[in-house]
Amino acid sequence: MRIYTDHHVHTEYSPDSLGDMEKYIIKAKKLNQNEIMFTDHIDIGSPDEMFHKLIDYDQYFQRVMELKKKYNIDIKVGVEMGYQKSFHDEIENFVKKYPFDFVIASIHFGEGMDFYTGDFFRGKTQKEAYFRYFEIVEDMVDNFSDFDVVGHLDYITRYGDFVNKKYDYEEFSEIIDRILSKIIKKGKGIEINTSGFRNELQVFHPKRVVIQRYLQLGGKTITIGSDAHFVDDYSMGINEAMKLLKRFGVEEISTFEKRILGKYSLKG
């Protein structure tokens, strides 16, 4: 049986990852997978200097070709595009420039500030910071179209120096429903990002109730990704996400190749 391919994987080409491309492939082979997908970071205009040097994709595709041959495995090249409205044109041009299989659109920064360093949270209550984050995601969905799924929809809850980082869907239901409806109307999807199970939050991004809302509102395109930055985390949590979707009555999840939507059956 074909095994679902992790749709969110960072290699050493991402500035914040130590994941060796070749070791990922060896791991995928061990898991009996005959294909693998990489989705490295491109964060144009990042306030974090670490991300300023962008990936040389000519060299990247060359490496992928060599590894494909060496290991006789199908390698898909996706990308996780960090979106910032002020760099919209550069971001659009970058996506157009290369033959990506899959594009995740993610918000990693807000108002030119980093979530990770805490700058974004300064002077905001928790509710204000989360609400502003969702507004920025909505703005991305309004303005950007050259993507397949929105990455880790409630990513903001990973950061901030709060006693309880979790949020109630009810408090943000209006804006979350609006974002989900706009994603659906655009014919785009969401991902279930399993990285939350590798920290204290112990949740999917987005959380269960938001995934359920996406389905209730008519959403049909869901990919699953570990957001691995280390080889050990590859494919982690994917089976749990599939189980959740089955419980929600979902029969198929989504795959992408050459930016074309495919389906993977959860039945059987």
Give the strand pairing for 149-150 and 189-193.
Answer: parallel
Please, which residue, 6 or 80, has the CB nearer to Zn ion?
80
Smallest distance from Zn ion to CB 153, Å: 11
Please, which residue, 27 or 108, has the CB nearer to Zn ion?
108
d(CA 151, CA 132): 17
Please, which residue, 106 or 255, has the CB nearer to Zn ion?
106
Smallest distance from Zn ion to CB 268, Å: 30
Smallest distance from Zn ion to CB 249, Å: 28
Residue 86 phi/psi, 5° resolution? Answer: -70, -10
Smallest distance from Zn ion to CB 14, Å: 8
Q: How far is the CA of 151 from the CAs of 69, 70, 259, in angstroms?
A: 30, 31, 16
Please, which residue, 39 or 254, has the CB nearer to Zn ion?
39
DSSP secondary-structure letter at 101? S
Residue 10 phi/psi, 5° resolution? Answer: -105, 135
d(CA 221, CA 61): 27
User: Rule CB under 5 A: which residues touch Zn ion?
Assistant: 80, 106, 227
Asked if 48 contacts 265 with a C-beta cutoff of 8 angstroms, the reply is no
